Structure 1
Amino acid sequence: MTSLGHTLRELRRRSFTGREEEVAAFRDALGAPGVIFVHGLGGVGKTALLDVFADLAAEKGFDAVRVDARHLTLGQGAPPVLPGDVPAVLLIDTYELLESVDDWIRDHYLSALPASCLVVIAGRRAPGPRWRTDPAWRTLTRVIALGNLSPEEGRAYLCAQDVPGEMHDRLLTISRGHPLTLSMMADAVRRGATPRSLSDQPDTVSALLALIIDEVPSARHRTALEVCALVAVTTEDLLRAMADGDAAELFAWLRTQPFIDESPYGLYPHDVVRDAITADLRWRSPARYAELYRRKFAVFHELVRATADERERLEMLVLTVVLNGARSPLAAFASLPPTMRAYADQLHDRDRSAIVAMTADRQGRDQAELAAYWMNRRPEAFRVFRTETGEPLGYGACLDLTEADLGVDPGADAMWAYTSKYGAPRSGERVRAWRFFLDRDHGQRPSRSLTLFVAWQMLDNLLVGDDAAWSFVGAFEDAELWAPAMESLGFWAAAEAEYTVGESRFPVFAHDWRRTGVAGLADRLHARQIGAPTPPPGEVLGEAVLSEPEFTDAVRSALRTLHTPELLRSNPLLTSRVVRQHGRAGRAPTETLRDLLDEAVATLTPESGVVIDRTFLRPAGAQERVADSLHLSFNTYRRHRDKAIAQLTELLWERETGSRRA
C-alpha cells in the first residue's frame, strides 16, 4: 500500500523545476568520497534540492540517509553511524544550527565516515574558514551557492502550479525568482488574489520574514535591518547616522546574517529580504517608514557632499540608481543595468573623433557637428563613459548656457528662449542644459553609459548650488519613455523648448531651482515614496521669480509690515529661494522670514544692526524716537537707516542668487 509520505514526495517532485547544474554536479559526485556544501537564503529551495538528491541516490542503489539539524541533539541522538558495506549518501539539512560544533562534525564525525560516502550539507551560510583553508577539505569539498530561479525556471514552476500565463511576469517580478515567495504568490492566486506587489500580501510578508530571518535581538537591531533595507549599501558610519548611537555592534551583527552580503561599498541584503522588510515596515508603521525614508535622503545628501572625489561620488549615485531602478514602476529607471566597472571621465583630445563618429552614425551629421562645436567651446562640460580598460563606451554633456552662446545650436536657443519667457536668469545665476547623450553600441537604449548619465544628472541635482536658476534635460529622444521619470524628479515637459536637429526631435524637461530647491525635490520624492499626492511639477511656473529691483522692494515691504501678519503673508519674499532654504519643519513662511531677518541683521556691522533692530525688528516707537535713542539727528538717522537696509538687501540677494559682489 502506498504511504502518504510517498504521495507527498511524488507531488513535490512534480513541482520541482530547474537546478539542472546542481543536479548534474550531484550525479557526477555519486560513488566518490567528498562533500557538496549547498548554501543559500532561507526559502531558496535547499530542502527541495536535497529531496531530489535523495531520490536520485536511491535510484542509483545508494542508501540515502537524511539528517535535519532541527531534529537532532548531540549526545544520545547524535548523527547516525553509516555502515561501511553499503554505498551511502549522507544529507544534512539546516546546517546553520550545527555551526557551533562545526569543527567537531568536520574533523571527527565526517572523518570517521566510510571512505566511499558522499556527504551533502545544506545551510544558510557558506562554509566557514576552516573548510576553505584546510588543503584536504578544500580538495574534497564543492561549494554550491543556491540562488533564485531564473525567469525560465520560474515560469516552468508557475505552469506546473496552473497559474494563468498572463500573471507569470508579474509574480516573477514580485518574487524575484525566490522559490518560497513564488510559491506563496501562486497560493495567493489560487485563493483568488491578484497581487501587484509584495505589499499587497502582508500575511505573506510576515510568513517570509519569520522563515528567512532569525529572531531579532532588540529594537535597535530591528532598526539596523530596516536601515539596511532602505539604503543601497550600509556602512557603519551610515548606520550610526541613521540609527543613532554606537553602531559598531549593530554593524557586526548585520555581517553575521546569512541574508546579508558584502560589497566593496558596504553591506546589502538579498533582494527579496529587502523587499519583505520594506513592505512590512511600510504596512506595520507608515509613520516610521516615512521618518526613516526622509532621514535616508538627508544622510545620503550629506554623505555625497562630504565626498570630494567626483568618481567616488558618481559610484555612490550609480549604486542608488541601479538599486532603486530595479524596484521602480517607471520603465526608464527599471531598465538601467549595473555599470560593471564602467566609469565617467573627462574629455580628452583623443576622444573627439570617436564621439563625432558615433553621433553621426546614431543621430546624423547635424548633431555630430554640434557635438564637435561644443567640445571646442565647452570641453569641461563633457564626460566620456569608459570601460574598465579606458575604452570609450559613450558620452554626455551638460552645458552652462549664456546669452553669448545663442545663434548656433537650436537646442541651446530653444532652452534659453524658455527661460526668457518663464524666468530669465538673474545676474550671477546659471542655466544648466543636459544637451547630449549617446552610447556607442546601444544609442539611447539601456546601457552602462545610460546608467552613468542618469547617475551624473542626479548627482548634479544633489549638488546644485545657490547660483543655479534652471536645469534642462534635452538629450533624450523618447519623450514617452522619459516624461514620467523626469516628472518624478520634479522636471516638467517644457513643450515650448523642444527642438529639432536634422531628422531628430528632442523633447525638453525643465526645473527652476529658484522655485523648487533641493529640499523641495526631497519633499516630492518623499511624498511619492509614501504614496502622498504630489502636484504636477510645472505648477510652480505660477510663482514669480523676483528681479533684483523687485527683491529690493519686497525686502523693504517686509521690514515695514513685519508686525502686521495679514500684510506680511502676501509678501513675495515668502516664496523666494532664500526663505525656502531657511525653512524648518513646523515653521510658517512668515516665521521663517522673521528668523531669516534676525539672523541676517546679526551679521551686519554693529551700527547698521542696531538701526535695523530698533526700527523694524523690535521697534522702539516712531522713527524720530529711534533717532533720539541713538543720539542722531533725524536726517543722519535716515542716512544710517537707508544704508543699513541696502546692506541687508545686498546680503539677502547674495544668498538668493548665490552671487557675490566684487
Structure 2
Amino acid sequence: MGQTIGERMNEWMERRFVGRRFECDVFGQLLSAIHSRTERIINISGTAGMGKTTLLDRYESLALAQGAHSLRIDIAETGSGSDRIWRAVFEGLGRSAEQEAPASLEACISAIHRKSENGMLVLFVDSYEKIGSSDHWFRTAFLPRLPMNMLIVVAGRYSLEGPWRHSPAWKPLIIRLPLTELSYEDIHGYLQESGETDDEAIDAVWFRTLGHPLSLSLLNSSDGGDKAMQPLFSFEDRLEVWLREAPEEELRQLLFAASITRSFHQEWLSALLEKEVASTWFEKLSKLSFVSRASEGWQLHERVWEAMRRTFRERMPDTFERYCGKAVGRCLAKIEEGIRQGRDISREFAEALRFAGNPIMRAHYRHARESRHYMEPVDAGNREEAAAYAARRRDEARPWTVRCADLESGALFRYDLTAEESLLRLNALPIDELLEESPGALKLIRNAAGIVVGLTALIPIHEGTIDYLMRAPLSRAYFQSLSPVRRQELRVAPEQSSGVFVYSIDVDNLEDEELRGDIIPILFEPLLAGSLLVQSPPPLPYFAQACESLGFEETPGARHTGYGDEKVALTYALDTRKSRLPSYLRRMISDSGSLATAETMSDQSTISQLPERLTAREQEVAALLTQGFTNPEIAARLYVSEAAVKKHVNAMLSKFNLKNRTQLAKLILDGGSPDPFPS
C-alpha cells in the first residue's frame, strides 16, 4: 500500500512547524524521564490563535515517535459535562462505553490503567477553558485516579488557577508553559520553508502578523513564487478570533474604549464613554483571556490592543479621535501636575508618547515595555566587568538588522548596520578616562541574571566636566561652537548640573527589542527632570532618525569626525528646562490629530459656562473631573483631601439632580445645561 493522504499531511505539517523549541524540549525531557520527575501535568495557555492546538499536534507526534500511547479529547467538541468527558476518554482508548456492562467512570479508569501497563500513556486535553464547573470533578475525581506512569497535557486560553496553583498537592505536579508570539527568526524560517527568500517580503509579513501563529498560517502565496506574500488575515479578521470571547455589543464597546490607552481602569472607561460602566460589565472585561492585570490597572494583550486600535480607527474615525483627545488631555494634565509637585512623571510621559505624531518615534516606541534589566554605576569594584563587556562585544561583533513598524501609518523601517558600525559607539567610549574625569557617568546594564548586556555614559554638564567635554572627541565640537557667554552659563556647581551629554549608549544586541527599548528610559530620566540633553551619535540613519523623532535638533557648527575621518557626525540638542517640558510634549503629539481635541477638552471656557450655582472650588473639581481624573487624583492636584473632593462632587450631583459623576461630566462638557429627566 502506498502513502496515504493522512501520512502526506503529517509530513507537510512537520515541515511547516516552526518555533516552540523550548516547549518541545520540555515535553521531550519529561516524556523520557517520567519515572525520575515529579511533574505530571503540562499546562499550555495562550490567547486565541496562539498555536495551542498546533503544539498539541506536535506533542502527539513526539509522543508516538517515542513509543508512547496517545489519547486526545477536545472539551469544545465533547462538551463540559463530566459524563461526556469520561466517555470521550473511553472512546479514545478504542473502547465504546455502550459495550461495557455497566458503562461507568470505573470502567473508564480501569481501561486507562490497563492501557498504561503496555507503555507510557499521554492524555491531551484541548480547549480546557470550556470545562466550566466540571473543573472540580476533573481535578478531584478523575486525575487523582490515573496511573503514575502517565503524562497529562492541558491546553486552554487560561492557565490553571485557583486550587491548581495554590494547593501544595497540585503545585509541584504542574509545569506551566504560557505561549507568546513566534520570533522573527521563527517567521523567517517558516517563510523560507514556503519558498519565500526576499527579505523585504519577509519583513512585511512579520510586521503584518507580528508572530501571531494563526495569522501566519493564513498566507496567500500565488503560483510562481510571488514575493508579495500577504496574510489573508486582516486586522479585523484576526480581531474576530479574539472577540468570540466577547459576543455582547456592550462588552465590545468597552474593548474599543480600552484600546485608546495602554492601561485602563473602570473610572477611566466611564470618563471616556461619558457613561457609568457597570461593575458587572467591567468584571466580564477583566476576565477575558487577553486582558491582564497591570501596575496601572488592566491591559489588553499587546496584539489585541493593536488590532482593536486599528479597527476602531478605521470603523469610527471621529469617535477614535475624540477619545484620543481625551486621553492626551488627561496625560498632559497629569504631567503638568507632576511637574508642579516635583514627582515622577515617567509613566504619564510614556503614555503620552504613544500619541506621538512622528511615525518613526511611534515605531521605535511601539515595542517599549517594562524591562527586566537594571543599571549599576561603574567604579573600581566592577571596572573589570565593563572592560570584559567591551572586549566580548568586539570579539563577537556581527552585522545588525533593526526592524520596526508603525501601526498607525503602516510604515516599515529597516536599518542595516555592518559589524564595524555596530561597534562605533562602544569604540568611542574611553572607560578609564571617564572613570577619572566624571565618576558616576558610566553605568552597566545588567539582565535579570546579572550578566552585563550594555554600557552607557551620560556625562553631567557642570564646572567640573566642561573642560573635559571641551576636548573629548565626541563633545568638543558642540562646546567649542558655543559662545563664551553660553559656556559660562553652563559652568554651574556640580550639584546643580545644567545638562547631560549622552556620550554613548551601547547594548550587546540592538536587534533585541527589550534591549532596544531600554534606551528610551535611559533618556527619559534627564529629559523629564528638565534638562539640556546633547548627543552626537554615529552618522547612521538609525541613530539620526531616532534623534530627530525624539525632538532633538541639530546644533549648527557642531559637526565632527570623532568616529573616523570619513564619518562626519552631527550634534543634536534637546532642552526641556523650566517650562519647556510641557511645550515639548505638546509639540511631540501636535501632528497626531489629537492635540486640538485635548486642548478643547481642557479649555476652561467650557467650565465657565456652568450655572452660577457652582462655587469656585466646585468649578475646579468639575474641570478635572471632565478629564477623567479620579477623586484621589483630583485631591492631589488641588492639594485638598479626598473627602473634600467627594463632598464637592456630591454637592454638584445634588444641585443638578444627577445620579453619578459620568452624567455630571457630560453636563459640563455639554455646556452646563442640565437634563431635566436624567436617566
* TM interval, short-chain normalised: 0.5 to 0.7
The correspondence of residues 238-637 of structure 1 with structure 2, limited to 5 A, is: 242=272, 252-307=283-338, 312-314=344-346, 339-343=371-375, 362-363=427-428, 393-397=455-459, 399=461, 410-411=476-477, 413=479, 416-417=482-483, 434-439=500-505, 454-455=520-521, 457-458=523-524, 473-478=534-539, 480-498=541-559, 507-510=570-573, 521-522=584-585, 525-526=588-589, 528-529=591-592, 584=600
Query: Equivalent residue for 2:18?
Result: 17
State the alpha-carbon separation in 1 of the partners of residues 372 and 459 from structure 2: 22
The yes-or-no answer on 1:209 pairing with 2:239 is yes
Q: 1:414–1:499: 8 Å Cα contact kept in structure 2?
A: no
Partner secondary structure for residue 290 of structure 1: helix
Query: Equivalent residue for 1:183?
Result: 217
Q: 2:74–2:126: 8 Å Cα contact kept in structure 1?
A: yes
CA pair 355-18 structure 1, distance change in 2 beyond 3 A: closer
State the alpha-carbon separation in 2 of the partners of residues 446 and 78 from structure 1: 44
User: Any idea what the Cα deviations from partners look like across 1:541-562, whole Å, max 9, x if unmatched?
Assistant: xxxxxxxxxxxxxxxxxxxxxx
User: Any idea what the Cα deviations from partners look like across 1:512-553, whole Å, max 9, x if unmatched?
Assistant: 889x966765565446557x9x9xxxxxxxxxxxxxxxxxxx
User: Could you tell me how far 1:210 is from its partner in structure 2?
Assistant: 1.7
State the alpha-carbon separation in 2 of the partners of residues 114 and 367 from structure 1: 64
The yes-or-no answer on 1:158 pairing with 2:191 is yes
User: Could you tell me how far 1:398 is from its partner in structure 2?
Assistant: 5.7
Query: Equivalent residue for 2:204?
Result: 170
Q: TM-score scaled to structure 1, two decimals?
A: 0.60
Q: 2:332–2:582: 8 Å Cα contact kept in structure 1?
A: no
State the alpha-carbon separation in 1 of the partners of residues 257 and 75 from structure 2: 32
Q: 1:89–1:117: 8 Å Cα contact kept in structure 2?
A: yes
User: Could you tell me how far 1:96 is from its partner in structure 2?
Assistant: 0.6
State the alpha-carbon separation in 2 of the partners of residues 217 and 484 from structure 1: 43
CA pair 127-452 structure 1, distance change in 2 beyond 3 A: closer
State the alpha-carbon separation in 2 of the partners of residues 111 and 190 from structure 1: 55
The yes-or-no answer on 1:41 pairing with 2:47 is yes
Which amino acid in the other structure matches residue 213 of structure 1?
A: L
State the alpha-carbon separation in 1 of the partners of residues 71 and 501 from structure 2: 67
Partner secondary structure for residue 42 of structure 2: strand
Query: Equivalent residue for 2:101?
Result: none
5+ residue gaps, structure 1: 535-579, 593-662
Query: Equivalent residue for 2:84?
Result: 77
Which amino acid in the other structure matches residue 340 of structure 1?
A: R
Structure with bigger gyration radius: 1
CA pair 527-307 structure 1, distance change in 2 beyond 3 A: closer
Partner secondary structure for residue 283 of structure 1: helix
Q: TM-score scaled to structure 2, two decimals?
A: 0.59
Which amino acid in the other structure matches residue 19 of structure 1?
A: R
Query: Equivalent residue for 1:624?
Result: none
State the alpha-carbon separation in 1 of the partners of residues 234 and 384 from structure 2: 56
Q: 1:322–1:338: 8 Å Cα contact kept in structure 2?
A: no
User: Any idea what the Cα deviations from partners look like across 1:19-55, whole Å, max 9, x if unmatched?
Assistant: 3443344344457793222112221211112223334
State the alpha-carbon separation in 2 of the partners of residues 190 and 221 from structure 1: 45
CA pair 311-188 structure 1, distance change in 2 beyond 3 A: farther
Which amino acid in the other structure matches residue 396 of structure 1?
A: L
Partner secondary structure for residue 211 of structure 2: coil
CA pair 151-341 structure 1, distance change in 2 beyond 3 A: closer
What is the RMSD of the two structures over their aligned residues, measured on CA atoms? 5.7
Which amino acid in the other structure matches residue 239 of structure 2?
A: L
Partner secondary structure for residue 170 of structure 2: helix
Whose relative contact order is higher, 1 or 2, with alpha carbons under 8 Å and at least 6 apart? 2
The yes-or-no answer on 1:98 pairing with 2:131 is yes
User: Could you tell me how far 1:102 is from its partner in structure 2?
Assistant: 1.1
Partner secondary structure for residue 181 of structure 2: coil
User: Could you tell me how far 1:206 is from its partner in structure 2?
Assistant: 1.8
- Stretch of structure 1 that moved more, 15-24 or 331-340: 331-340
Q: 1:38–1:144: 8 Å Cα contact kept in structure 2?
A: yes
Partner secondary structure for residue 306 of structure 2: helix
State the alpha-carbon separation in 2 of the partners of residues 291 and 190 from structure 1: 46
CA pair 398-320 structure 1, distance change in 2 beyond 3 A: farther
Which amino acid in the other structure matches residue 572 of structure 2?
A: F
Q: 2:537–2:543: 8 Å Cα contact kept in structure 1?
A: yes
User: Any idea what the Cα deviations from partners look like across 1:203-244, whole Å, max 9, x if unmatched?
Assistant: 521221122333436666445534554544445665566555
Which amino acid in the other structure matches residue 436 of structure 1?
A: V
Q: 2:538–2:563: 8 Å Cα contact kept in structure 1?
A: no
User: Any idea what the Cα deviations from partners look like across 1:301-350, whole Å, max 9, x if unmatched?
Assistant: 3444555898954466579889999x9578876897964342599x9999
